[in-house]
Structure 1
């Protein structure tokens, strides 16, 4: 396994201008990262098309892999024109992934308000989601790219829903970017969910959360799960997720791919990212 960082972990520094994405690549390598996952937040390829080649060059100079390209998308739409336009937009993002030289790309699939995330609604939306993901996976296949859905956004977040989508898309190059923490957003036990979805994973995110029950509102900085419990992002290894147990499961499965730290806590992003990578490496040695 290769431990690295999602550039999203450094979003606050990228957004404020404290750090550029090129500097983030070097920073990740300097702090032991073996790869960096590119998430275009805090920088914009449309505004600076040549940035793609700059990123590739910098990664080569730093001796670090570009592991994955992760973007947002939503195939829930009111009309066919918007639906088709979103598919075409994501195909253009596949071309960016190819220019980055990656063989893995995560795109979102759908987002709905919590009160619209019933299983009935999921089943109604599923055919169009399957069709969109299949078309994009087929387009990505010409570049040797595996596309994936991440378990997030409340609607396509539970392990069974992720599996259902993957199985219906039925393409060898459509899998899941499995975030070990995000299952908690839909009140699913992360250990059980990881065991279920690990065979479908093309990429793994290590994330940690603090968890509090619904009757104990901790106040600012927390958000609620679908059942009303409270979560707050934590440095990997500091929260309530049994990281060591999950890493042991991943290690024993034979998974040898990329593992990205995804930090979204309240601490300084550089500090949280550094400690998270250090902890992940140490935990892997211990299990």
Structure 2
């Protein structure tokens, strides 16, 4: 296991300027993290080769790896011109990933509001989405990069939809960034979903949530699933997901890649990230 942290876990510190992304890399190394996943929120690498080079050099200096580069994208566009522009934009992001020195890159594929996320709508959008992913995977293959879709954003979040997209793209370098907690956001059992999709994973996120059923409205700080249940991000190991069983599934699968903590709780992000790292490391040894 190579355990590390997504820079998204430190987003509130990056946004407030408590840390910059170079300081975040150093902080992760100090906590015993073995890698950082770069998510350009709170900073940007667009048209910024100096910062891109500085990130790579900083990681080398402090002795950790840059595991994955994760960006947003949406191939549901109103016309052909905007569709092509979005694909070209992601091509440029692949160039950035190569400059970072990573061999893994996650890009989003589609977004729709919850009211438009039916299986019928997914089937209608699937040909355009998969065609875009196929072209990007081919482009990334020239650099030896594996691209991936993450299970988030409601529309392409359930395990079966992720698998369906992977099979339609049908490229050996297109897989999934498997977020172990995000299945709960679409009311899917996380343990069962992780068992289904772990063999398709190029990257694994570990995340935890507090869960309340629909009849208990917990108020501020929570969001709802499509079925109306309530979730709030937590420190890994403090929430209601069976993290012990999740980690056991990963540990005894064929997956041997990076594991990245994605903390999005209400606690101080550095404290929450540190405890999450320590908990996953400890639980990994116990299961």
Helix, strand or coil at the partner of 1:50: helix
Distance across 2 between alignment mates of 1:174 and 1:131: 12
CA deviations on 1:118-139 (whole Å, 9 max, x unpaired) are 0000000000000000000000
**Contact map agreement 2:72 2:107 (CA 8 A) in 1:** yes
**Aligned residue number for residue 220 of structure 2:** 220
Distance across 2 between alignment mates of 1:84 and 1:119: 25
CA deviations on 1:62-111 (whole Å, 9 max, x unpaired) are 00000000000000111000000000000000000000000000000001
Distance across 2 between alignment mates of 1:182 and 1:116: 19
**Aligned residue number for residue 235 of structure 2:** 235
Helix, strand or coil at the partner of 1:67: strand
**Aligned residue number for residue 164 of structure 2:** 164
Distance across 2 between alignment mates of 1:137 and 1:46: 20
Helix, strand or coil at the partner of 1:253: coil
**Aligned residue number for residue 207 of structure 2:** 207
Distance across 2 between alignment mates of 1:264 and 1:164: 28
Runs (5+) with no aligned partner, structure 1: none
Q: Determine if the alignment matches structure 1 residue 61 to structure 2 residue 61.
A: yes
**Aligned residue number for residue 267 of structure 1:** 267
Q: Give runs of aligned pairs for residues 72-111 of structure 1, distance below 5 A.
A: 72-111=72-111
Q: Determine if the alignment matches structure 1 residue 114 to structure 2 residue 119.
A: no
**Aligned residue number for residue 149 of structure 1:** 149
Cα offset for 1:44? 1.4
Distance across 1 between alignment mates of 2:185 and 2:110: 16
Report which stretch shifted further, 39-48 or 159-168. Answer: 39-48
Helix, strand or coil at the partner of 1:175: strand
Helix, strand or coil at the partner of 2:252: helix
Helix, strand or coil at the partner of 1:203: strand
Helix, strand or coil at the partner of 2:275: helix
Distance across 2 between alignment mates of 1:171 and 1:146: 9
Aligned-residue CA RMSD (Å): 0.6
**Contact map agreement 2:199 2:254 (CA 8 A) in 1:** no
Helix, strand or coil at the partner of 2:191: helix
Distance across 2 between alignment mates of 1:39 and 1:112: 21
Distance across 2 between alignment mates of 1:140 and 1:45: 18
**Aligned residue number for residue 192 of structure 1:** 192
Cα offset for 1:254? 2.8
Cα offset for 1:48? 3.6
TM-score normalised over the length of structure 2: 0.99
Cα offset for 1:47? 6.2
Distance across 1 between alignment mates of 2:46 and 2:181: 31
**Aligned residue number for residue 136 of structure 2:** 136
Distance across 2 between alignment mates of 1:226 and 1:47: 38
CA deviations on 1:115-168 (whole Å, 9 max, x unpaired) are 000000000000000000000000000000000000000000000000000001
